[in-house]
Amino acid sequence: MAEDVKVVDARDSYCPGPLMELIKGIRQEPVGTVFEVWSSDAGSGKDIPEWVKRAGQELVSSEQDGTVVKIRVKKIK
């Protein structure tokens, strides 16, 4: 069964907006939730994985889709 993914569409947001949107989601949703952040801010491709590592969450994937980076993060704690 496909895993439910909560999309955080932060394409019009600038640093640190996409990260802050993800953090808001992580605070609101239960453990096990998978988020996919869409960001047109180039820095998010490095900033968000770095935050995920530091915060002890799980980086599922990160891929570039045209001008948008899509980063999947699983809340594990």
Partner 1 sequence: MVRLGVVPLEGLNYSGHEPRRLLYTARQHKIGVISVTAILRADTGSSERGVMMANPDAVNIMVLANDYSKIHAAAMLTAVAATYGKPIRIFVSMEALAAFHQNPAISSTIAQGPVAHKIMAVGGSTFIDLFRQAKELGDVTLYACSMVMDLYHWTLSDMVDIFDETLGVAGFLAMVEGETTFTL
Residues with a catalytic annotation lie at 15
Residue 12 or 63 having the CB closest to partner 1: 12
- Mark 37-66 with x for binding to partner 1 (rule: CB under 8 A) and - for no binding: --------------x--xx-----------
Residue keyed to tokens 């047109």 = 40
Helix axes 17-28, 44-55, angle to 10 degrees: 30
Q: How many residues bind partner 1, per CB under 8 A?
A: 12
Q: Where are the alpha helices (DSSP H) in the chain?
A: 17-28, 44-55
Q: Is 5 in the site for partner 1 (CB under 8 A)?
A: no
